Chain A
C-alpha cells in the first residue's frame, strides 16, 4: 500500500554532491560530473559541462554549449521551449524562464501532486537581453544564494552605467576597459550602455566575440561591436572595450592608452572584493537576484521547503527559518566556483557571472 503514502521530496529529487538527481525520471539537473542524461538550466560553465550522454535544454543553451565546447559536447541533444513539458518516466518536466542569461531556465519537476522547481541561477531584475523571470508556484523551491546576504542590494544598473559614462568623459584621453563575463553580463552591459544613448562603437576582446555575435543573431540589438584586435593605441583613446575580467590584469591591457579598469559584477558592492580585483571603477551590475530578490521570490513561490544550492547559504537558510519555512543547504560542490578561476584557467571561456 506504499502508493498511498504522500511522496517525499527526496523520492522525486535527491540532492547529491554532484547535483540533484531524479532516479525515477533517469536524469540529473546541472550535474557537475558526466551523466547519462542531464537537464541543463543555462550555459554557464559551472552548470553546463561537456561530456553527458544526452542533454535536454533550451535551444539557446544548446547553441551556446556548442559554441564553447564544440559540436560533440554531448551524445545527443533535445531542445525544449519555455512552457513546454516533456515526460520522463512518470515524471513531467517543464521549462520556465529564469531571467539570468539568454536561454536560462528554471526546471519544474512534477509527479503526483508534488512540484519541485530547480531554478538554476536567476534574477528578477529587468534585462533587455533575455526573457524575464517567471514565478512558478511550487512545493519545494531549489534556489541559489550567490548574493544571499543583506549587504547585497544591487541598485539601479542605469546609474552604474552613468558612472562609467561620466568617467569616460572626465578621463577622455584614457581608454575604459570593462571586465564582464562573456556570457550574459557583457551583452547586458552593452545593452545598458546603448540605452544610455552611447552610440559610438564598443570594442570587444576576442574572447567576447562568439557569444556577442550569437546574441545579435538572436535579434538582440547591441550596435556596432568591432574587435579591438589590430587597433593602434591612438585609435583606442576615449573608447570603451568589453573584456573578460581576467584580461584587466593581463599584458593584453597594455595596448590601451592608460586604461581605466572597470568591472561589472554584483561582488563590486563589497569594497574588499573590488579592491581584490584591482579595479578603479567598480560597477555593481549583477545577473543574480539580490537579497531582496531572493527573499521576495522564495516567499512568492509558496514553497514550504527551500533547498539552497550555493553561495551564502547560511544567511538565506537562517532567514527562511525566521519566516517559518523549512530550509537547508545542499552542499553541492562546484557551483559558483568558476567566477574565481575565470581567466586564470581559460580567459573568457569559463565563468559564472556575478
Chain B
C-alpha cells in the first residue's frame, strides 16, 4: 500500500503526460503481481466494492479528535479525507507491525460487511503513514482523482514492453483485476488475451479556440458551422460481439467509459457504428442549460426517477464508423452526409443531429453567434455556448490538430462588483480565502448599499489569489465561522471585474437576480468601490437577455471600459 500511495502522491503533482507515464511504468515494472494489477484497476476505475460513505470517516475521526480542532483543520486543508489522513492520531506504540498491501485492502473490502468496515478501516489507518492514509481514504471513498485517465494508465502498462495501447483497449472489456493474463502477455510470458471489442473508444478530435486575428487567414467558404452545445462531449459506440450479443458503450472525450451513468440513453444505441456528439438533457424537446445536466451528473446512483426527471439525449456531430466501415479518413462533408442518413434511419427521439448554421461571410456568422435564437436554434438558444467551425475537407484526426476545427465561444458579460465576503476554498484553493461573494450598489434605506449578486471561485491567477487573500486578512471587519466580511464602503474595498455567461432572476438573492457561471476576470485595485456598477445596470442586461438580445449590451459594456 505504501508504494501505491507514493505513486498516487507523485502522480497528483506531476503535470507532464510523459512523466506520469514514466512513474506508472516504473511502478508496474518494479511491483509484483497481484499488487500492480489492483493498482491498474484502481487507476482505471475498475475496482468494485461498496465505497465508504464520508460520514463513516467523519465519525471515526470524531471519536479520536477534538471537534474544534478538526473543524479548523478541515477548514484549512479543504478536503475531509486529507484532513483525516493528516490528523489521524496513530500512537507509535500501538502501530501494528504489518502495513497492509493494496491487494489485501481490495480483496477484504469486497467481502467486508457494512458493520465491520469502520473497525477494519481504523486498523489500516493506524498502520499507515500520512500519505498511505490519504491514498487509502481516497480509495475506499471512491474518490481517486489524480489526473490520470484510464487510457493513460493502460498506456503505461503497454509501455512495459513497447506494446500498443489499442490492443489493450480492445481486450480490456474481457479482462478482470488483477489482470494476471495481461501482465503475463505484456512481459512475454503468456498468450495474448483474446476478444474483439465491438464498441471501442476512438480518440476524439478536438477544436482550437479561435482568435479575432485568425479570421483574416481563414476563408469562410472553406468552413461549415454548427452550434456548440453546452453539454458533455461524448462518443457513443455500439456493435455485436462474437457471441452475437449487442454491446453499447458511452465514452467521455478522454475515453473514460461513462455507460453506467446513462442507462436510458444506452438503450437507444441500437446501431453498429460510432457517433461523436453532445450529451444533453432534453425536456419537452427543449435543451436544458448545463446546470440541469450537472444535477444529474452529481448523483451517484442513477434511479428511474432521476432518468425521468433528467432524460439524457444525444445530439450527433459526426460519424466515425458506419457498420464495418471506418469513416475517419473521409472529409467532414462526406461524413456529415453519412451521419444524416444514419441518424434518420435510427428514428429514435433520443438521438438527433446538430443542425448546421448557414452563413456566407464571417460577419453573418458573428451575427448568428450573437443571437442564436434568430438562426434556427430557436428555443434552445440558451444552451448554445458558441459556434464550431469545421473545415469542409477535414478528416477526423485524434487530438487537437491545427487549422481544421475551431471553437468560437460567446462573449461573456462583465460587471464591476465589490468584494463583500470571502471564504476559504476547497481543493487546490483551500487554506486561502478564495471564494468570493460580491455585490453591486443599489439605493437602500440609508443611502447606497451593496447587494450580493454572485459568488466566484476562479478566474484569478495564483498571484492574484495571494493578493486577494492578503487583502481579505488585512481588511476583515467581521468573522462568521469560516466566512470573513471584508471592508466594503464606497471609499474602502476591492473592486472585482466579474465576467459571467448570463443572468437569471432569483428569489434567493436580495438583489433579485443571480449571475450564471461568474468568474473574476480582473482586479480593479485602481477603482474606488463607490464607482462599481449599480444593480440597475444588471437589471437592464437581464431584460436584454430575456428578449434574446445579447450583442447590443456587450457592445455597450465594451465601449464603456
Contact = CB atoms under 8 A, between A and B. Distances in A.
Interface stretch (B77-85, B100-108, B530-538): B77-85
Given A170-B22, A171-B22, A272-B428, A150 B69 contact: yes
B8 to A, nearest CB: 11
Interface in B54-87: 65-66, 68-70, 72-73, 76-79, 82-83, 86-87
Most interface-central of A270, A280, A337 (chain B CB within 10 A):
A270
B72 A314 contact: yes
Interface string A258-288: 0000000000011111111011111000000
A270 B69 contact: no
Interface of A: 149-153, 155, 170-171, 269-276, 278-282, 312, 314-315, 318-319, 322, 333, 337, 340-341, 344
Interface string B12-41: 111100010011001000000000000000
Nearest to B78: A272
Closest 9 CB pairs of A and B: A151-B86, A272-B430, A150-B87, A315-B72, A151-B73, A275-B428, A280-B13, A149-B73, A151-B87
Contacts, number: 90
Interface string B411-432: 0000000000000000111111
Most interface-central of A150, A280, A318, A319 (chain B CB within 10 A):
A150
B16 to A, nearest CB: 8
Contacts of A282: 13
B13 A151 contact: no
Contact of B463 (A152, A273, A315, A344): A344
Interface of B: 10, 12-15, 19, 22-23, 26, 65-66, 68-70, 72-73, 76-79, 82-83, 86-87, 129-130, 427-432, 462-463, 465-466, 469-470, 474
A276 B431 CA distance: 10
B478 to A, nearest CB: 15
Contacts of B86: 150-153, 269-270
A282 B78 CA distance: 18
Contacts of B78: 272
B15 A280 contact: yes
Nearest to A344: B463
B77 A272 contact: yes
B146 to A, nearest CB: 11
B466 A344 contact: yes
24 contacts: A150-B65, A150-B69, A152-B86, A153-B130, A155-B130, A170-B22, A170-B23, A171-B22, A269-B86, A271-B12, A272-B79, A272-B427, A272-B430, A272-B432, A276-B428, A278-B15, A278-B462, A279-B13, A280-B14, A281-B13, A312-B72, A312-B76, A319-B69, A340-B466
B69 A318 contact: yes
A344 B22 CA distance: 33
Contact of B130 (A269, A280, A281): A269
Nearest to A249: B462
A272 B470 contact: no
A129 to B, nearest CB: 25
A155 B430 CA distance: 22
Given A318-B68, A322-B66, A151 B12 contact: no
A311 to B, nearest CB: 11
Contacts of B466: 340-341, 344
Given A151-B77, A280-B13, A315 B431 contact: no
